[in-house]
Amino acid sequence: MTTVSVALIYPDLLGTYGDGGNAMVLAQRLRWRRYEAEVVTVTAGQAVPDSCDLYVVGGGEDLPQALAAARLLESKALHRAVASGAAVLAVCAGLQILGEAFAGAGGEAIEGLGLLPCVTRISARPRAIGEILVRPAGRWSGLGLLTGFENHGALTTLLPGAAAAGHVLAGVGNEDGTGEGVVSGRIWGTYLHGPVLARNPRLADLLLSWVVGDLAPLDDAEPSALHDERTENGPGERRRAGGVLGAPALSWAKGHLGKLASQKFAKQPEVRQTESG
């Protein structure tokens, strides 16, 4: 069996929010299924390979983001990999870089890689920070709910004809609390940190299935427990933090999660003292 390679692109530039964990999740889920898997870490000074099977591009700060984009645009390695069928997970700054254009530190428009049908611009609104819950749209609805943590100042607008990957149930998402992320071919762009694949094992397996086909089930007791706990508690935490709830999310959350969440938070987690001896 050939080795499946997962390229982690510029973790020194785009590694602010633990997104490198996505590469680890992908590789481990392959190994546990008896695939040979390797993570190829590509730091800023190294050439990006164009022959890997999966690429993970994470979130980062403004200046390193611009540097990363310039290098990827110059080498075109990611373009070549995509053209030959590689799968890509692009998170936050990664999503922005892969679009047609994104905003630099001073708000200026910077040319993106043009691999995703979106543009990103700065916003006068407060930074979108907090738990986010998404219901995948259309052909992705089989994934169940997606949970994550968003943290971005810029807003992403999809180009005409492009559809968001999911509907925002709690949080901001791309720009206004309605759509989140965008998928083009085998490129999944999202604002969800967490890391997103640690919280959403089914999304991890979707990306893997694009590369290796059908997958045997895994023991996902802990990842599933985390997914369910965050799905249940995340929206309540976002609301308590004064975050923005998407309009369609409000009624949904009230109906489905509000009750659960309020029960959860009426009783603050406490330090148990009874066990001490």
Positions touching other proteins (CB under 8 A) are: 8, 11-13, 15-21, 23-25, 27-28, 31, 38-41, 43-45, 61-64, 66-67, 127, 129-131, 149, 151, 153, 193-195, 198-199, 222-223, 225-226, 229, 237, 241, 269-277
Identify any residues that bridge with 146 across adjacent strands, giving them in sequence order: 134
φ, ψ of residue 265 to 5 degrees: the values are -95, -10
Taking the complex as a whole, the smallest distance from the CB of residue 78 to other proteins amounts, in Å, to 18
* Amino acid at position 190, single letter: T
Taking the complex as a whole, the smallest distance from the CB of residue 254 to other proteins amounts, in Å, to 22
Structure tokens of 31? 């190994």
Taking the complex as a whole, the smallest distance from the CB of residue 119 to other proteins amounts, in Å, to 22
158 or 188: CB nearest other proteins: 188
Find the length of the chain: 277
Taking the complex as a whole, the smallest distance from the CB of residue 3 to other proteins amounts, in Å, to 11
104 or 248: CB nearest other proteins: 104
Q: Contact at 8 Å (CB) between 198 and 29?
A: no
The closest of 212, 192, 198 to 2, measured between CA atoms, is 212
Hey, how many other C-beta atoms are within 10 angstroms of the C-beta on 259?
Answer: 11
31 or 76: CB nearest other proteins: 31
Taking the complex as a whole, the smallest distance from the CB of residue 185 to other proteins amounts, in Å, to 26
Q: What is the 3-state secondary structure (H, E, C) of 205-252?
A: HHHHHHHHCCCCCCCCHHHHHHHHHHHHHHHHHHHHCCCCCCHHHHHH
28 or 178: CB nearest other proteins: 28
> Strands 87-91 and 187-190, how do they pair?
parallel
130 or 179: CB nearest other proteins: 130
209 or 229: CB nearest other proteins: 229
23 or 98: CB nearest other proteins: 23
DSSP 119-172: EEE--SSPPEEEEEEEEE-GGGGGG--EEEEEEESSEEEEPTT--EEEEEEES-
Taking the complex as a whole, the smallest distance from the CB of residue 22 to other proteins amounts, in Å, to 9
Q: Contact at 8 Å (CB) between 214 and 123?
A: no
Which of helix, strand or coil describes residue 192? coil
Taking the complex as a whole, the smallest distance from the CB of residue 45 to other proteins amounts, in Å, to 6
